[in-house]
Structure formats: structure tokens, C-alpha cells
Amino acid sequence: MRLRCAVLDDFQGVAAESADWSVLGEEVEVVALREHLDGEDALATALADFDIVVTLRERVPFPGSLLARLPRLRLLVASGMRNSVIDYAAAEAHGITVCGTGSSSTPPVELTWALLLGLARGIVEESNSLRSGGPWQSTVGADLHGRRLGLLGLGKIGGRVARVGLAFGMHVSAWSQNLTKERAEEVGVDLAASKEELLAGSDFVSVHLALGDRTRGLLGPAELALMKRSAYLVNTSRAAIVDQDALLAALREGRIAGAGIDVFDIEPLPADHPMRGAPRLLATPHLGYVSRANYATYYGQAVENIRAHLSGSPVRRLP
């Protein structure tokens, strides 16, 4: 019997052209789903007849309760080599192999700077004004050269963001719970004495931490209150690192100059979500990983994972 493969959240309709699925021949029927499936019941119904599922990032949780409702599922492919929303023990118990793919850190670095620069120079506001016949110049840009960029996290992505900041002539400092002086010196940035010092002294703050028990809610009302009223916050990491209600309040009350946000507590963002109408917010729909090269890696290696599974020798197994 021909196997069926569901590709989830193909919002742009490009999964088919991002890899050569034809190498799967007549063994696998590939179905790309462009609409997001929200909730366990919807997922259980839509995926009941699929043997293979390809999921993007951590948007769709696969808890044990859902996996138990997918009796045909034998292979789950997730983009990237880390996924916190898959119940690996339950997958093993149900005979489901879980595999990952490679992922580049370049796209989120580039998007971080797109958001930061867009905020600093009022790009969206000025462009909209120009196109709609509004005033000629209405904002005064915030300078980068000579200003301080504070990074929460100095890993692979944070380190590359830091080097761009240095190229702009910014003073760059970083902090995380495990960050060492040696790592900071390796990148060429200052090690902040504390999270509080970093927040209080930075003109731009950018989040580059993995989500975990120690980082969930790391920036709450008290932390955001430490930031300068002229400072900007950028988050291309995970929404839950920043208290969403506290961020909304800070934006509405003008306690920070603005925020560039690519990640949200609910994705896709509902039409009536308060973030959609927040002032001083430059928002993008989780585009950090979305680039042609990354999609070629995700889907190309997903095809490789499926072929390896069919041959009985799975590759890139998770966790």
C-alpha cells in the first residue's frame, strides 16, 4: 500500500518546489497542507490517514495524547535538530521514529537586524507615509554607531548578531546565566555583570536564548521597567522568554521606544490578538527561519529522512 506523507504549515505553498520529492517515486504520496491545524482534535482528524508527517519548527505540538490517536504514523520529521514539543517517549512507545534536519543560523541573524534597523529608522512608518501621500519625513532615526547593543545570549546566533553590531560601531555587551568571560572575549564583546545591568545600560536589547525552565518569563514587568524609555527590544527567539502582557503594557504606556517581535505566544496569531494592534511594534509572522536556503535544507533533508526510513536505516534521529 502506498504510504501517505503530510507536510504541515506550507503557508507559502513552496514545499513542493523546495526539494525533489520525486525521488520517493510511487512509494509515497506527498500532501502539503497550507492551512494551520489548530488543536489536537483537528490534528488527529486531519492526520489520521498519514504514515509520515513533516512539521516545521515547534509550531505544532505532538504530545503523547495526540500520537496515540495517529495509529498509522510511523515517521515524524521535524525541521532542526531540537524540538521541545514532541513527546519522544510516547513516540517510541507507539513505534514512531522521530528525525530532524539541519538548520542555518544565518536567517534569524539577518531578520534580527532587519527588525532592529527597521525600528531604529522608522522604515515602515516612513514608507507607509510616502506611499499614502503623508508627510515628507515625520520621524527622527535612532543612531546605532556609538550606542550600546545588549544581547541576552551569546551562542551561535547571538555571537553573529554581536559581530554585526561591532561592524556598525556599536558597543556590545552580553549576558546569560552560563556566559563566561572567555566566550565574551572570543566574540569581542563586554560581559555584563548582571541581566539588570545589561537591560539598564543598553539602547537596543536583543534576545537570543533557548527556551527552558530558567529562561521562561526571564523578562517580566520588573525587567522591562529597567530599560531606558529610548531603548528598543528585539525578540526573534521564543515568545515565552518575554512576558507578553508586560511587553504590551510597556509598549502602550511608552515605557520603551519600541519592539521588534517575530515570535508570539500563539501562532499563527489570531486576528483579534492584542499584539496586532500594539503601538510602537514592528512585528513579523515568525520569519526567523524562513528563507529559500533554509527551506531547501529542511525539505531536502526531510526527503532524505523519508528515504532512509523506507530503507530501514533512519538518519538524524531525535532526540
Integer Cα distance of 86 and 76 in angstroms: 9
Catalytically active residues, by annotation: 238, 267, 286
User: How distant is the alpha carbon of residue 158 from its chain centre?
Assistant: 13
CB-based contact 70:45 (threshold 8 Å): no
Residue 17: count of CB within 10 angstroms of its CB: 13
Q: Edge-to-edge strand order for the sheet containing 232-235? A: 190-191, 171-175, 148-152, 204-207, 232-235, 258-261, 281-283
Other beta carbons within 10 Å of 30: 20
Question: Which residue, among 182, 247, 164, 173, has the nearest Cα to 205 in the 3D structure?
Answer: 173
